[in-house]
Chain A
Amino acid sequence: MGATHLPSTEFDGTELDDQLEAQAEAALGVPPTEMVQLLGPDGTLGTHSVFSEYVERLDAEKLRGFYADMAAIRRFDQEATALQRQGQLALWVPLTGQEAAQIGSGRASQPQDYIFPTYREHGVALTRNVDLAELLKQFRGVSNGGWNPKDTNFHLYTLVLAAQTPHAVGYAMGIQRDQRLAEAQGVEGSAEPKAAVMVYFGDGASSEGDVHESMVFASSYNAPVVFFCQNNHWAISVPTAVQTRIPLSNRAKGYGFPGIRVDGNDVIAVHAVTEWALEHARQGNGPVLIEAFTYRVGAHTTADDPTKYRESSEEALWREKDPLDRLEKYLRAEGMADEAFFAKVAAEGDELAAYIRKSTYASDAPDIRTAFANTYVEAHPLVAEELAWFEEYSAGFAGGDEGEGAGR
């Protein structure tokens, strides 16, 4: 490196600033603090200089699909809540209010993309074709996962807040390397479609150091990752104001990539913005942060009591912005869906609920031997020793079964 390469300062401040400003403007057509909204609470569709183009890709069938998905996952949510009340689940994490944020973003992903959820992304799971019955296994206490992420490119739920965000960036760095390896081997333009990673986290989790570290890594390596923050306004009982004093989407600028705030109850806008972001990432243009401005209408979990920390009037205000109602209004006004469609969606919801109920009752505890088997990939003497002890110990009860049974 010659002396000419020695920088006098690390950044050319104004140039970088201008560049980011231009990037954000190009993406949004508006300053990043403004919220992208297309479908208003009254069910009328607005226009947007950048994102209307993405809305044109949606036909009536797709829009009906969005509605059906949102209705299905809300019905699923109600059923899981009921199952928890009946003692069938240890805990449930409801998503009501966040259907548009999840269905809109999930439906914008492609099969080759990989998704890292937190623990409330039941709607995203639906869009990735995860069997929803498997989703309940963790909450029933019969598995710490429940599905094979390799089948759907939908990772396991993560309960340690924000821990999945660096995993997403690492995975995205892997995608970059796969592409470079393929190019080096001369298979550029092979059948492999370009992929991106999307990672979900909440407004509370945004305070965790892992989110910061992930954004630094993502930016430094220009990784194809979309950070999708669902700002549902509450981290259990703590309001967003305790986590941040600026719109969360603004933070992206500090890392050097675009941040977009979108109306999280507007499935059309969420879909458009996420499609844009994923394409941006897949094309090699680096990370994007999306903040979906939404609301957790119910409790944080079935163990929570929101009456202790917030006014019911706040909930009522947000119910008026309900994501399902507004799409229903639009579909009806445009003549895209009739009474029969909505009746069919309701009937399918009942079927789904019945399936979930039945499969939950049928989902039994695993054998502890599977836990012995899965602690390590390769043979491990300590595990083998403890398993052998367990087998011998258990065998000691084998003969006593009768007597024990008689005592009951």
Chain B
Amino acid sequence: MTTMTIAKAINEGLRATLSHNPKSLLMGEDIGPLGGVYRVTDGLIGEFGPDRVVDTPLAESGIIGTAIGLALRGYLPVAEIQFDGFVFPGFNQITTQLAKMHSRSNGNLTVPVVIRIPYGGGIGSIEHHSESPEALFAHTPGLRIITPSNPHDAYWMIQQAVNCQDPVIVFEPKRRYWLKGEVDTESAGSAEDPFKANVVREGTDATVVVYGPLVPVALAAANAAAEDGRSIEVIDLRSISPIDFDAIEASVKKTGRLVVAHEAPTFGGIGGEIAARISERAFLSLEAPVIRVGGFHMPYPVAKIEEDYLPDIDRILEALDRTFAY
């Protein structure tokens, strides 16, 4: 067990991947000597050289597109998109090419590309640096999407993503890059399957489902609710595609109430999908409608008012109040 930040844990995970697999390589803008704008790839070019840690031209479609070509040739590329809002020039390659190559080749071709995207707000940044576009990708069949919320998961999930034969997008909660925690580098433990959710806090009265940056927020809300005598179960989803509905269903069957929270706009978001599925699967166990907490239907606002936009402890507590009102 060692203590490290999420950023360092991903760095160590990438280092392990590069050491174990000679066909793996990293590519992206400024990931070489600079180590990426968040320093997640710090020091790796010195260890593995410019053929394995590739500073690419400034071209997102080119990055994803050439990663696909490398994968077709048997390589395991891990592409970094510098910020959430800049994935869109690569959107075409991700949705029309990467996601579909395996199926349109009738199973003959695999493209095990990993795309790392720092995402989410709360860092006081400017336009296009705080978005949560995960639902846009989750809607596309053929992609897998995961998002770690703590250093241990971050260390293991990045390696599991590389080992997965399907394309995987790893959304990294950028405002938690500096969150410290224990990492067991010997064993993944309960984080063995990156597509399974974790119950990070047990409870009996209501379930809160969150992922990535909101996990600490939900835990704090659950602690606050405990002071009012409410026992809240918190589930860290970890995987956004596929979603571990079994874990949510099991929890709801125990608690009878469900709140889903994410930073992305509520409308058309992952929360709606969870609400619909759980209503189908556990309708008779629900004591109240599933309540969603999310961002508003507006472009991510300017930093000076982002606190008004982002779901916080109070917004989750308010949602819990609403579910208990039934």
Contacts and interface: CB of A to CB of B under 8 A. Distances in A.
Tier of interface size on chain B? 35 or more
Interface string A186-216: 0000000000000000000000011001101
B29 to A, nearest CB: 13
Contact of B141 (A168, A172, A210, A375): A375
Contacts of A171: 69-70, 72-73
Nearest to A214: B62
A174 B74 contact: yes
Contact of B69 (A156, A174, A377): A174
Given A166-B93, A213-B61, A213-B65, A374 B107 contact: yes
Interface in B61-85: 61-62, 64-75, 77
Contacts of A280: none
Tier of interface size on chain A? 35 or more
Interface string B231-252: 0000000000111111000000
Interface string A41-80: 0000000000000000000000000000000000000000
Interface stretch (A29-37, A144-152, A244-252): A144-152
A382 interface: yes
Contacts of B279: none
Main SS of chain A's interface residues? helix
A14 interface: no
B13 interface: no
B105 interface: yes
B105 A148 contact: yes
B65 A210 contact: yes
Given A181-B22, A375-B102, A377-B165, A166 B65 contact: yes
Contacts of A146: 106
Nearest to B59: A213
B242 A216 contact: no
A208 to B, nearest CB: 9
Given A174-B69, A174-B74, A163 B106 contact: no
B51 A180 contact: yes
B166 interface: yes
A173 interface: yes
Interface string A158-185: 1010010111111111110110110000
Contacts of B195: 381
A216 B73 CA distance: 20
B108 interface: yes
B73 A373 contact: no
Given A166-B61, A173-B66, A149 B109 contact: yes
B67 A170 contact: yes
Contacts of A373: 107
A170 B65 contact: yes
A339 interface: no
B142 interface: yes
Given A170-B73, A374-B102, A377-B165, A160 B107 contact: no
Contacts of B25: 177
B159 to A, nearest CB: 15
Nearest to B101: A156
Interface in A103-159: 114, 143-146, 148-150, 155-156, 158
9 contacts: A145-B105, A145-B106, A166-B61, A170-B77, A174-B69, A180-B51, A375-B141, A377-B110, A377-B112
Interface of B: 22, 25, 51, 56-57, 59, 61-62, 64-75, 77, 89, 92-93, 96-97, 100, 102-110, 112, 141-142, 144, 164-166, 195, 241-246
Interface of A: 114, 143-146, 148-150, 155-156, 158, 160, 163, 165-175, 177-178, 180-181, 209-210, 213-214, 216-217, 220, 370-371, 373-378, 380-382
